[in-house]
Amino acid sequence: MRLIFLGPPGAGKGTQAEFICRDFHIKQLSTGDLLRFHRKQGTELGRKAQQYMDRGELVPDSLIIDMIKEELVKPEYKNGYLLDGFPRTIAQAEALDKLLEELNQKLDYVLILDVQTEEIVTRLTARRTCKICGKTYHLIFNPPKVDGKCDIDGGELYQRTDDNEETVRNRLAVYEKQTKPLIDFYTKKGIAYFINGQGEIEKIYKQIQEILLKTKRL
Ligand code: ADP
Ligand code: AMP
């Protein structure tokens, strides 16, 4: 199964992706996580991406597309994958179409998570992320079992530098302008499914499971 998770920053893509990948045995590919990894390693790509990420702007398409091409051919994606945070522009979606054709692969689903703006600001300004595995928490809505520590690996939780209100609002504006047109792009392909991203985390996952199980294309 191959799917794309679309939706504004803070919609809960990463949170839900963890459950989907666990239950459907596929690999998550988050371009945001991958870029943060490059930054931490101090690679050339990481250095180039930093200035855009800090401002909440998109990293140039050519850098992202090259990164994805290098990643998706790895054996761990053979059984299927969930793309989280990619594609984010029409140019990226077209490049993905081309790559899928070359790899003789087909997309099964595009899941679109919808959440209102003010809820997103509340979510992201109190989001905490694990330094080791990248799992996200919310100080109030989804707290870790032990304060400041990841439930999975005990890693220290930190606040991403782009999770401040000003940058979050810019990221939302960037989403509206550059990423939202993808909803139409994938609706036309007949593989888009809409999910209300507000409410309890478990109930949202139930909606997703229903879609993936009812329209089974495993
Ligand atoms: P994304 O990957 O789409 O940017 P995350 O999965 O990191 O979003 O979620 C953003 C923040 O919102 C995190 O702090 C997460 O714990 C919290 N969150 C996720 N789903 C919900 C929900 N249904 N209700 C409230 N908070 C949520
Ligand atoms: P995310 O972790 O998905 O919230 O992404 C964090 C930041 O990484 C974004 O604000 C962008 O600067 C950059 N980024 C992640 N994915 C992409 C992408 N597909 N295209 C361009 N920039 C991206």
In the numeric block, the tokens 């478990």 are attached to: 202
Q: What's the one-letter identity of residue 114? A: D
Nearest CA to ligand 2 atom 1: 32
Other beta carbons less than 10 A from residue 146's beta carbon:
10
| Per-residue confidence (pLDDT) for residue 216, from 0 to 100 | 66
d(CA 22, CA 38): 25
Closest approach atom of ligand 2 to CA 52: 12
| Per-residue confidence (pLDDT) for residue 214, from 0 to 100 | 80
Domains with residue ranges and CATH for the chain:
2-26+79-214 (3.40.50.300)
DSSP codes joined into one string, 173-218: HHIIIIITHHHHHHHHTT-EEEEE--S-HHHHHHHHHHHHHHT---
Residue 121 near ligand 1, beta carbon < 6 Å: no
Q: Which ligand is nearest to the CA of 143?
A: 1
Residue 59 near ligand 2, beta carbon < 6 Å: yes
Residue 208 near ligand 1, beta carbon < 6 Å: no
C-alpha 126 to ligand 1 mean position (Å):
10
Q: Which ligand is nearest to the CA of 87?
A: 2
Residue 128 near ligand 2, beta carbon < 6 Å: no
| Per-residue confidence (pLDDT) for residue 217, from 0 to 100 | 58
Residue 26 near ligand 2, beta carbon < 6 Å: no
Full pLDDT tens readout for the chain, 218 residues: 999 999 999 999 999 999 999 999 999 999 999 999 999 999 999 999 999 999 999 999 999 999 999 999 999 999 899 999 999 999 999 999 999 999 999 999 999 999 999 999 999 999 999 999 999 999 999 999 999 999 999 999 999 999 999 999 999 999 999 999 999 999 999 999 999 999 999 999 999 999 998 876 54
| Per-residue confidence (pLDDT) for residue 215, from 0 to 100 | 75
Q: Which ligand is nearest to the CA of 12?
A: 1
Q: Report the catalytic residues.
A: 13, 88, 127, 160, 171
Q: Comparing C-alpha atoms, which of 43, 1, 66 is closest to residue 217?
A: 1
Closest approach atom of ligand 2 to CA 57: 12
Q: Residue 75 gets which letter from DSSP?
A: G
Residue 109 near ligand 2, beta carbon < 6 Å: no
